[in-house]
Amino acid sequence: MKKILITGGAGFIGSHLVRLFVNKYTDYQIYNLDKLTYAGNLENLSDVEKKSNYHFVKGDIVDAGFINELFAEQRFDAVIHLAAESHVDRSITNPMEFIFTNVVGTVNLLNAAKETWKDDFTGKLFYHVSTDEVYGTLGDNGSFKETTPYSPHSPYSASKASSDHFVRAYHDTYGLPTLISNCSNNYGPNQFPEKLIPLFINNIKHKKKLPVYGKGINVRDWLYVEDHAAAIDTIFHNAKPGQTYNIGGNNEWKNIDLIKKLIEIVDRKLGRPAGESLELITYVTDRAGHDLRYAIDATKLKTELGWEPKVKFTEGFETTVEWYLANEKWLDNVTSGSYMDYYQKMYGNRL
Ligand code: NAD
Ligand code: DAU
């Protein structure tokens, strides 16, 4: 019987990971710790909330006293840490939240794990979920390897890079058994509609302008969220402590090409004439410090642990659009209230 703490389980990737672990490992007790910020939504987990091996704890990882008490009481065997402020644009307008949650929050968890496990680290594990953005940006060629030097450009990626460094430092200094994975852009159901794909699906549906940053030439490597959850499962159960793995979709898209593909699918599914929504494309001021290209070399994960993405992009993309169109209530719930203030602040004078 293992007791596993998953942080940020009410968010996008966290909810897919919690679902996978609760359903697949019925002999584990899964504790989902989440502050329920604007990005955390328990509706994402309504299908597993009544399972006897699932437990929800509302709390803030920045609160060291609370975290220490929780660890002392529950004595988790392992931590999979996803809780974070995750949106680059928000980090540009409010970097401090990113430093508190992503850096201080991570160090609070590391301290609590170290203290709880100090007598014997055997069988214990602290798995930190991170991003490819820590590596900075690529030109037209090449891809990020685990050995690529860190070169973050946004407050978000700087905060994630800092947390990665702390995780490695706790491994090297105290012998804490840690793992890190750095993943590329995820897409799929339950992503908050501030991120490109759900935001644009929602805007196309409502015939609202599509704010394309700069010239739309930035490139991202897209991975279906369930493939990311499967990669975390594989690494969690098979990797040697102290290791780092890159996770990617081998699926690079220039933003503008991806947006045109999205328009094609949404127009088709809504029964609109082909290309009708192309006129919504609106080029706006570029994101400050906008990284040009990300691409992941996930060879290490494939050769050492046998993981590869399973979901083909065409299939995953169709499923994703269908999910947002079918889950109108979910979208309406998360885009009411403070979302409108956010949208106005972020895009009001750009569109
Ligand atoms: P998300 O924003 O959808 O979810 C983050 C979750 O963390 C939310 O449920 C939120 O309530 C919770 N949270 C935030 N601050 C907290 C705090 N102080 N205490 C407790 N809980 C708090 O994020 P996501 O896109 O699911 O990303 C999850 C993790 O994966 C992050 O660490 C992110 O850096 C990393 N990641 C994301 C992507 C991506 O494409 N989305 C890619 C690679 C890595
Ligand atoms: O690479 C992994 C990262 O992917 C994760 O660590 C982050 O948490 C996640 O948010 C994501 O970061 P990006 O900045 O790449 O994702 P976003 O969806 O914000 O933007 C994708 C691309 O689309 C990027 O080049 C910026 C552009 N964009 C985004 C928005 C929101 C636009 O052109 N217009 C927009 O309105």
Query: Which protein residue has the closest C-alpha to ligand 1 atom 4?
Result: 11
Q: Which atom of ligand 1 lies closest to the CA of 86?
A: 2
User: What tokens were used for 146?
Assistant: 């685990």
21, 233 contact by CB (below 8 A): yes
- Which contiguous run of DSSP H or E holds residue 195? none
Q: Which residue out of 220, 247, 283 has the highest number of ligand 2 atoms within 8 Å of its CB and is therefore the one to mutate?
A: 220
Other CB atoms within a 10 A radius of the CB of residue 278 amount to: 13
Q: Which atom of ligand 1 lies closest to the CA of 36?
A: 11
Give the per-residue pLDDT at 17: 99
274: three-class secondary structure by DSSP: coil
295: three-class secondary structure by DSSP: coil
Q: Which DSSP symbol is given to 70?
A: H
Ligand 2 pocket check for 228: Cβ under 6 Å: no
Q: What is the pLDDT along the chain (351 residues), one digit of tens a residue?
A: 799 999 999 999 999 999 999 999 999 999 999 999 999 999 999 999 999 999 999 999 999 999 999 999 999 999 999 999 999 999 999 999 999 999 999 999 999 999 999 999 999 999 999 999 999 999 999 999 999 999 999 999 999 999 999 999 999 999 999 999 999 999 999 999 999 999 999 999 999 999 999 999 999 999 999 999 999 999 999 999 999 999 999 999 999 999 999 999 999 999 999 999 999 999 999 999 999 999 999 999 999 999 999 999 999 999 999 999 999 999 999 998 899 899 999 999 888
**Helical spans, DSSP H, in 175-254:** 196-205, 225-238
Ligand 1 pocket check for 45: Cβ under 6 Å: no
147: three-class secondary structure by DSSP: coil
CA distance 114 to 171: 10
Ligand 1 pocket check for 180: Cβ under 6 Å: no
42, 14 contact by CB (below 8 A): no
CA distance 184 to 247: 6
Ligand 2 pocket check for 212: Cβ under 6 Å: yes
12, 36 contact by CB (below 8 A): no
Ligand 1 centre distance from Cα of residue 306 (Å): 26
Ligand 1 centre distance from Cα of residue 268 (Å): 32
Ligand 1 centre distance from Cα of residue 179 (Å): 17
Other CB atoms within a 10 A radius of the CB of residue 237 amount to: 10
113, 97 contact by CB (below 8 A): no
pTM: 0.98
322, 239 contact by CB (below 8 A): no
Active site residues: 132-133, 156
Q: Which residues contact 237 (CB under 8 A, 6 or more apart)?
A: none
Ligand 1 pocket check for 128: Cβ under 6 Å: no
45, 10 contact by CB (below 8 A): yes
CA distance 112 to 124: 13
Ligand 1 centre distance from Cα of residue 101 (Å): 10
Query: Which protein residue has the closest C-alpha to ligand 2 atom 3?
Result: 185
Ligand 2 centre distance from Cα of residue 75 (Å): 36
Q: Which atom of ligand 1 lies closest to the CA of 83?
A: 7
Question: How buried is 31 (Cβ within 10 angstroms: 0-12 exposed, 13-18 middle, 19+ buried)?
Answer: buried
Q: Which DSSP symbol is given to 154?
A: S
CATH H-level, domain 3-189+223-250+290-310+339-350: superfamily = NAD(P)-binding Rossmann-like Domain (3.40.50.720)
Q: Which atom of ligand 1 lies closest to the CA of 192?
A: 3
Q: Which atom of ligand 2 lies closest to the CA of 212?
A: 33
Q: What is the CA angle 93-17-14, rounded to 5?
A: 20
Ligand 2 pocket check for 117: Cβ under 6 Å: no
User: What tokens were used for 63?
Assistant: 């609160």
Ligand 2 centre distance from Cα of residue 120 (Å): 41
Give the per-residue pLDDT at 337: 85
Give the per-residue pLDDT at 328: 93
